[in-house]
Amino acid sequence: MATAEAAHHDEHHGHPTGILRWITTTNHKDIGTLYLCFSLTMFLVGGLMALVIRAELFQPGLQVVDPHFFNQMTTMHALVMIFGAVMPGFVGFANWMIPMMIGAPDMALPRLNNWSFWILPFAFTMLLASLFTAGGGPASGWTLYAPLSIQGGMSVDMTIFAIHMMGVSSILGAINVIVTIFNMRAPGMALMKLPLFVWTWLITAFLLIAVMPVLAGAVTMLLTDRHFDTAFFNPAGGGDPVMFQHIFWFFGHPEVYILILPAFGIISEIIPTFSRKPLFGYTTMVLATAGIAFLSFIVWAHHMFTVGMPLAGELFFMYSTMLIAVPTGVKVFNWVSTMWRGSLTFETPMLFALAVVFLFTIGGFSGLMLAITPADFQYHDTYFVVAHFHYVLFSGSVMAMMGGAYYWLPKWTGHMYDERLGKIHFWTNTIFFNITFFPQHFLGLAGMPRRIPDYALQFTEFNVISSMGAFGLGLSQLIFVYVVIKCVRGGKKASDKVWDQPRGLEWTVPSPAPHHTFDTPPKIA
Amino acid sequence: MALVVICLVVVSATISLSFFTLGYWMILPFAGLEILAVTAAMAISVRATKDYELIVVNDQTVTVTKRRGKRMVTHDFQRYWTRIRRERGVNRLHPTHLLIGSHGRFVAIGSALTEELKDKLARQIRKAIRNHYPQVHNKVSE
C-alpha cells in the first residue's frame, strides 16, 4: 500500500513547462541556452546597427541618417556587441560546458545563475529604449567620455543604469564560475588537469571581479556629476575629464581580455580535437593566459597616448603593451605546434579555429603598431583602430564563438549540423569579414577619422568596398542562424563522442547531453 | 579556498583604494560589496559541500542522519512502518518534498536533489525497506 501511495504522489510533481520553464530554470544547460539565444539576438541587433553605419558610409555625404543618429548607432553598436553579444555568449558557453568539463552536476549557485541571466533582458530593454527618448540614445561613444556624456540627455542616465545591471549580471556570473571551479570539480580533477576553456574562464572571472567595480564607480560618478553637482569629471566644477579616461580604460583594457580569453579557451579545445593530438604546452598555455591577464592591468593608457602624458608614462605604457605580444605569441606558437604533424581534418569548427589563429594574429600585429607611441599619434582615432579591434573582437571572439557553437552543437542538440552549410557560412563569413575590415586599415593609414558620418572624397573607394563587405557579412550570419535552427530541429543523430578523437568529460555523456549530468561524480584518471 | 578570497580582496582593495586616495571614492563601495558577495558565495558553497544526509536501513530501524553546517540531527523510525511520501511545493514552481517517516512523524530528505533524483532516491529507499519484508514474514510464520 505504501508503494502505491508513494507512486500516486510521484505523479503529481513535474517541471514547469513552456515559458515558465525558462523563467524559473536553475539548470545550467537551460541557462546556457538562454544566454546563447540572447547573445545571438543581440548579435543580430548590433549587426543591424552596424549596417546602418555602413549604409551611411557607402558614399560621401549624408544619405541615410543624420549625424546625431549616426553617433547613436556607433555608440549602441559597441555597447550591444560588447555587453549584449560577446560577454553573454561566453557566459552561455561557460554555463553549458564548465560543469560538464569538470564533472559537476551543475553550477555551484544555480538560483544566482538564473538571476544573473534574467537581469540581462531588462538591462538591454532599458538600453535600447533609450533610443526612443527625447534627444535620442547615447551618442558619446561606448566609452562615455566626459564631459560629452555629462551633457547628454536622459538616455545617458538610462545607459548608466543599464550598465549597472549588466555589471551585476557579469559579477554574479563570475562569482558562480569561480565557486563552481573551486568547489565542484570531480575527485581527481586537479587544477592542472582542467580543460583550457575552464582555465581561461577562471582567469576571465578573476578579471571581471577585479575591474567591474571600477566601471560601476566610474559611471556612478558620471551620474552624480550630471545630477548631484559633484565635479569628479566635470571641468566646469574643477573636475578632471582626462581622469575619466584613465578610470574607464583601467576597466576597459582588462575588458578586452575578458572578451578574448574565453575565445582562446575554445580554440584550445577545438584544435587538439581536429589535429588528433593533445594540446602542445598545456602548462605554458595556462601561464600565458595568466600573464596576459596580469599585463592587462598595466597597459590601459595606450588607449590615450594623445591626451598628454609624461614621456616616462608614454614609454612605460608602450613597452608594457608590447610585452603582451610575448604570452600571446606563446599561445599562437602552441596552437601551431599542436597542429604540427597532426592528422588534421577541416570540419567547420576547425576552419573557424584556424581563421581565428590567422586573423587574430593580424589584429595582434596591428595592435603592436598601435602600441608604438609615436606611430599611435598618427593612427589614433582613425579607421586603423576600427580595423584593429574588429580583427581582434570579430575574428577573435565572435568567430571563436561560432567555431565553438559548431563544435558543441551536436552535444547540445543530439544532431549533427549541416556540414555543407556550415562550411558555406564559414567561407562567406570569413571572406566578407576581410572585405569589410581589411580596407579600413588603409582608410586609417590615409587619415580617415572614426565616428564620422561623412568623409572626404579620396576615401570613397575603400568605404564602398567596406560597406559592400559589411552587407555580405550581415547576410552570411543568416546562414548561421538557419544552420543552428536546422540542427536544433533535427538532423543526423550525433554519437556520444561526436568527433574522431575528442578529449574531455563532456564527450563521455550521451548526445544530446541529458538534462542532468554527473549526478554521481566521474572518476578522473 | 581562503587563499582565493584573500587574493581577490588584495587585488580589489589595491585598485579601489588607489582610486580612493586620488579622490575617486565611489569605486570603493562597489568593490566592497562585490568582495562581500564573493566571500559569502564561497562560504555558502564550501559549507554546503560538507552537508550530507545518511539513511541507514537496518533489520528493525531506518535511521536518517542530517548534517547542515555544524548541526547534526538523527531520526529513527521503525522499519516496518516506514513510509516514503512526496508532497507538492507551495505551488508548481516550487520543488516537491521527499519525506520519510512513520506514525505521523516525517522528515524531509534530498531537498537539494532534482525531481528525477528524488524519484530515484525514493525508489531506492523503498526497495531497501521492502527487501527486508520477506524475512519479517518468514519470522512471523515461523
Each residue's pLDDT tens digit, A2-42: 333 444 444 445 567 788 889 999 999 999 999 999 999 99
Residue A414 pLDDT: 97
Domain definitions of chain A by residue range: 30-508
Distance of CA A82 to CAs A8, A131, A143, A394, B43, Å?
51, 18, 12, 11, 32
Residue A17 pLDDT: 77
Across A121-135, A399-413, B124-138, least confident range: B124-138
Residues comprising chain A, all counted: 525
pLDDT digits 0-9 by tens, A377-386: 999 999 999 9
pLDDT digits 0-9 by tens, B62-119: 999 999 888 999 999 999 999 999 888 887 778 889 999 999 999 999 988 888 889 9
Q: Which residues of B touch A112 (CB under 8 A)?
A: 41
pLDDT digits 0-9 by tens, A428-437: 999 999 999 9
Residue A7 pLDDT: 40
Helices (H), ranges, A343-418? 348-371, 373-379, 383-392, 399-413
Residue B33, pLDDT > 70, answer: yes
For residue A14, the number of C-alpha atoms closer than 13 Å in the C-beta half-sphere is 6
Q: Which of A27, A209, A228, A234 to mutate to test the interface with B (most CBs of B within 10 A)?
A: A209
Sheet of strand B71-78: strand arrangement: B52-57, B61-68, B71-78
Collapsed DSSP state (helix, strand, coil) of residue B47: helix
Residue B134, pLDDT > 70, answer: no
Residue A6 pLDDT: 41
Cβ–Cβ contacts within 10 Å for residue A25, how many? 21
Residue B69 pLDDT: 84
Given the DSSP bridges, would you call strands B52-57 and B61-68 parallel, antiparallel or unpaired?
antiparallel
Q: Verify whether the Cβ–Cβ distance A232 to B24 is below 8 Å.
A: yes
- Rounded to an integer, the average pLDDT of B46-56 is 89
Collapsed DSSP state (helix, strand, coil) of residue A282: helix
Geometric angle at alpha carbon A131, from A389 and A72, rounded to 5°? 35
Which amino acid belongs to residue A323? L
Q: Which of A258, A133, A136, A168 is nearest to A205 (CA)?
A: A258
Domain definitions of chain B by residue range: 2-48, 52-137
Positions of A annotated as catalytic residues are 77, 106, 142, 169-170, 253, 255, 257, 268, 302-303, 328, 331, 450
Query: Across all residues in chain A, what is the average pLDDT?
Result: 95
Residues comprising chain B, all counted: 142
Q: Which of A87, A227, A245, A211 is nearest to A156 (CA)?
A: A227
pLDDT digits 0-9 by tens, A512-522: 999 889 988 89
Residue A12 pLDDT: 45
- Residue A369 near residue A360, CB atoms below 8 Å: no
Residue A123, pLDDT > 90, answer: yes
Residue A14 pLDDT: 57
Residue A1 pLDDT: 35
Q: How much is the ipTM here?
A: 0.91
Q: Which of B1, B9, B15, B100 to mutate to test the interface with A (most CBs of A within 10 A)?
A: B15
Q: Which of A116, A124, A4, A43 is nearest to A399 (CA)?
A: A43
Block residue for cell numbers 546556457: A32
- Rounded to an integer, the average pLDDT of A117-145 is 96
Residue B130, pLDDT > 90, answer: no
Q: Verify whether the Cβ–Cβ distance A216 to B85 is below 8 Å.
A: no
- Residue A167 near residue A502, CB atoms below 8 Å: no
Residue B135, pLDDT > 80, answer: no
Residue B132 pLDDT: 60
Residue A523 pLDDT: 86
The CA distance from B73 to the nearest CA of chain A, in Å, is: 25
- DSSP symbol at A505: G
In which band, very low, low, confident or very high, does the pLDDT at B13 lie, cut at 50, 70 and 90? very high
- Rounded to an integer, the average pLDDT of A151-159 is 94
- Residue pairs spanning A and B at CB distance below 8 A: 122
Residues 6+ apart with CB under 8 A from A96: A28, A29, A32, A33, A36, A408, A412
- DSSP symbol at A368: H
pTM of the model: 0.93
Helices (H), ranges, A11-66? 19-24, 28-56
Closest chain B residue by Cα to residue A520:
B117
| Nearest Cβ partner for B45 among A5, A109, A519 | A109
Residue B140 pLDDT: 35
- Residue A272 near residue A211, CB atoms below 8 Å: no
B79 has a chain A CB within 8 A of its CB: no
Superfamily of domain A30-508: Cytochrome c oxidase-like, subunit I domain (1.20.210.10)
Element (H, E) at B128: helix B115-130
- Residue A117 near residue A38, CB atoms below 8 Å: yes
Q: Which of A105, A273, A292, A97 is nearest to A197 (CA)?
A: A97
In which band, very low, low, confident or very high, does the pLDDT at A162 lie, cut at 50, 70 and 90? very high
Q: Which of A380, A362, A397 is nearest to A302 (CA)?
A: A380
Higher local confidence (pLDDT), A12 or A332 = A332
Collapsed DSSP state (helix, strand, coil) of residue A20: helix
Residue B142, pLDDT > 60, answer: no
